[in-house]
């Protein structure tokens, strides 16, 4: 499989997981939290899926396509290891969907960052909230969900915070 | 359609066109020419499709994934407006497949660059050669080919140099 093939599969898996997550949280109140803005393509997909929800976006420094930059008041700027701690006061238990894809292009580094951030992300989730993630997440409070049809195990990840 | 949707469609169209091009030039001798390396994903797909062909790659400055950097002797480094002119002496009429995707992220700029480069690319193609391109190419020496099934017109482009 070429890198073009595997990139397409990863993007298709990401989209299928976000679309599935949108169904799963349909009856659940709460914010959407995008952890990593990047070029803003996924953020654009999230705002298409969730026109009626507030979408908060964590990013170190905005470098997205001009049409995909969130409003200033929805941006949580800085190192997520710090900003997620600071956000806990007002965001704790109020997020219905979090999406984690830092996309440094280095799988081992993504995985290490995910491990470091997991204890900061999980307390933000409300009971029943969904976490969609590129790296796998290991946390006893999270139940692993079945992936949408056609997505190979491990290509993307879906979790639900235990009620 | 979100930007994630349209990005996935563009990549799928690109891959389908390259796969189709590989069938079309099966009986044709000649080099492969990648015009724009970028992150090297498409180059990786090309070397999977054409393990037995020499693949030349034009790029201003290499910034690809380390596993997708072509051998030094296959790189044509510099501004394509100059390097393609210089390459005409040894590459003229010897290319069986050229792929053009500069991907500046700005459609109008890509289109303008394509127009500027077309008279430098076409003389490199052998009779019957295929040109796959993200921007449309306007040239009387090129016949427009039907796109693979499922690819909407205009999403990607396939041309054949008149024999």
Q: What is the pLDDT of residues B94-104, one digit of tens each?
A: 999 999 998 76
- Residue B63, both tokens: 């910034």
Which of A7, A47, A68 lies at the smallest CB-CB distance from B41? Answer: A7
Report CB contact under 8 Å: B2, A65. Answer: no
| pLDDT tier, A108 (very low <50, low <70, confident <90, very high otherwise) | confident
Chain B residues in contact with A44 (beta carbon < 8 A) = 2-4
Residue with token string 């289109």 = B111
Nearest chain B residue to A46 by CA distance is B2
Report CB contact under 8 Å: B4, A12. Answer: no
pLDDT tens digits, one per residue of B103-152: 766 788 888 999 999 999 999 999 999 999 999 999 999 999 999 999 99
| pLDDT tier, A147 (very low <50, low <70, confident <90, very high otherwise) | very high
Interface list for B 128-157 with A (CB within 8 A): none
pTM for the predicted model, two decimal places: 0.91
Chain B residues in contact with A4 (beta carbon < 8 A) = 11, 14-15, 41-42, 44-45
- Residue B116, both tokens: 């500027």
Nearest chain A residue to B12 by CA distance is A8
Task: Calculate mean pLDDT across residues A79-102.
Answer: 96
**ipTM (interface predicted TM):** 0.93
pLDDT tens digits, one per residue of B27-67: 999 999 999 999 999 999 999 999 999 999 999 999 999 99
Question: CA B88 to CA B84: how far, in whole Å?
Answer: 6
Q: Which residues are registered as beta bridge partners of B142?
A: B161
Nearest chain B residue to A47 by CA distance is B2
The pLDDT of residue A109 is 87
The pLDDT of residue A110 is 86
Indicate the average pLDDT of chain A. Answer: 95
The pLDDT of residue A130 is 98
Three-class secondary structure of residue B119 per DSSP? helix
Residue with token string 């994903």 = B41
Chain B residues in contact with A45 (beta carbon < 8 A) = 2-5
Determine contact: A63 vs chain B, CB below 8 A: no
| pLDDT tier, A74 (very low <50, low <70, confident <90, very high otherwise) | very high
Which of B8, B15, B40 lies at the smallest CB-CB distance from A15? Answer: B8
What is the b/e burial string over A6-32, where b = at least 16 CB atoms within 10 angstroms of the residue's CB? ebbbbbbbbbbbbebbbebbeeeebbb
Question: CA A136 to CA B133: how far, in whole Å?
Answer: 37
Q: Which residues are registered as beta bridge partners of A157?
A: A133
Report CB contact under 8 Å: A4, B105. Answer: no
The pLDDT of residue B107 is 81
Report CB contact under 8 Å: B65, A105. Answer: yes
Choice between B12 and A106, residue whose per-residue pLDDT is larger: B12
Which of A3, A12, A67 lies at the smallest CB-CB distance from B8? Answer: A12
pLDDT tens digits, one per residue of A19-51: 999 999 999 999 999 999 999 999 999 999 999
Chain B residues in contact with A11 (beta carbon < 8 A) = 4, 7-8, 11
Q: What share of chain A has pLDDT > 90, as a percent?
A: 91
Report CB contact under 8 Å: A11, B5. Answer: no
Residue A159, classified by CB atoms within 10 Å of its CB into exposed (0-12), middle (13-18) or buried (19+), is buried
The pLDDT of residue A48 is 98
């Amino acid at each position: 499989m070429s890198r073009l093939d595997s990139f397409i599969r990863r993007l298709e898996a990401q989209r299928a997981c976000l679309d599935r997550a949108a169904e799963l949280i349909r009856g659940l109140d709460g914010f959407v939290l995008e952890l990593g803005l990047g070029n803003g393509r996924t953020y654009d997909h999230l705002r298409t899926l969730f026109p009626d929800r507030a979408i908060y976006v964590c990013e170190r420094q905005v470098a997205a396509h001009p049409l995909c930059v969130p409003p200033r008041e929805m941006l949580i700027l800085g190192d997520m290891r710090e900003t997620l701690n600071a956000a806990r006061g007002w965001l704790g238990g109020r997020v219905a969907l979090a999406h984690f894809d830092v996309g440094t292009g280095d799988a081992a580094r993504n995985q290490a960052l995910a491990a470091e951030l997991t204890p900061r992300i999980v307390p933000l989730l409300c009971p029943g909230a969904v976490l969609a993630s590129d790296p796998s997440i290991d946390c006893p409070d999270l139940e692993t969900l079945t992936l949408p049809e056609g997505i190979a195990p491990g290509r993307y990840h879906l979790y639900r915070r235990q009620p």
